[in-house]
Amino acid sequence: MWSFPLFPDQASTLASKVDALYFFLIAISIFFSILIAVLVVGLAIKYRRRSDDEKPPAIHGSLLLELTWTLIPAGIVLVIFVWSAEVYFSAVRVPKNAIEVQAVGKRWMWKIQHMTGKREINELHVPVGVPVKVTLTSEDVIHSFFIPAFRVKKDAVPGRYNTMWFEATKTGKYHLFCAEYCGTKHSGMIGTVYVMEPDAYQAWLGGEQAGASLAGAGEKLFTDLACITCHRGDSGARGPDLAGLFGKPVKLASGETVTADETYLRESIVQPAAKIVEGYQPIMPTFQGLLSEEQLLQLVAYIQGMKAEVKDEAAAPAAGAAAPSTGAR
Using CB under 6 A as the criterion, which residues of the chain lie in contact with ligand CUA when the complex forms? 105, 108, 143, 178, 180-182, 186, 189
Query: Shortest distance, CB of residue 183 to ligand CUA, whole angstroms?
Result: 7
Quickly list H helices, 258-292: 262-270
Tell me which H or E stretch contains 76: helix 63-92
In the complex with ligand CUA, the residue whose CB is nearer, 140 or 267, is: 140
CA–CA distance, 127 with 169 (Å, rounded to integer): 9
Query: Shortest distance, CB of residue 181 to ligand CUA, whole angstroms?
Result: 6
- The three-state secondary structure class of 71 is helix
Residues 6+ apart with CB under 8 A from 46: none
Query: Shortest distance, CB of residue 12 to ligand CUA, whole angstroms?
Result: 22
In the complex with ligand CUA, the residue whose CB is nearer, 101 or 156, is: 156
CA–CA distance, 144 with 135 (Å, rounded to integer): 12
Query: Shortest distance, CB of residue 297 to ligand CUA, whole angstroms?
Result: 18
In the complex with ligand CUA, the residue whose CB is nearer, 182 or 195, is: 182
In the complex with ligand CUA, the residue whose CB is nearer, 179 or 250, is: 179
In the complex with ligand CUA, the residue whose CB is nearer, 98 or 190, is: 190
Query: Shortest distance, CB of residue 107 to ligand CUA, whole angstroms?
Result: 6
Q: How far is CA 203 from CA 46, 76, 122, 240, 261, in A?
A: 73, 50, 20, 40, 32
In the complex with ligand CUA, the residue whose CB is nearer, 138 or 213, is: 138
- The three-state secondary structure class of 165 is strand
Query: Shortest distance, CB of residue 108 to ligand CUA, whole angstroms?
Result: 6
CA–CA distance, 130 with 170 (Å, rounded to integer): 11
Residue 165, preceding peptide bond in cis (omega within 30° of 0)? no
Tell me which H or E stretch contains 133: strand 131-138
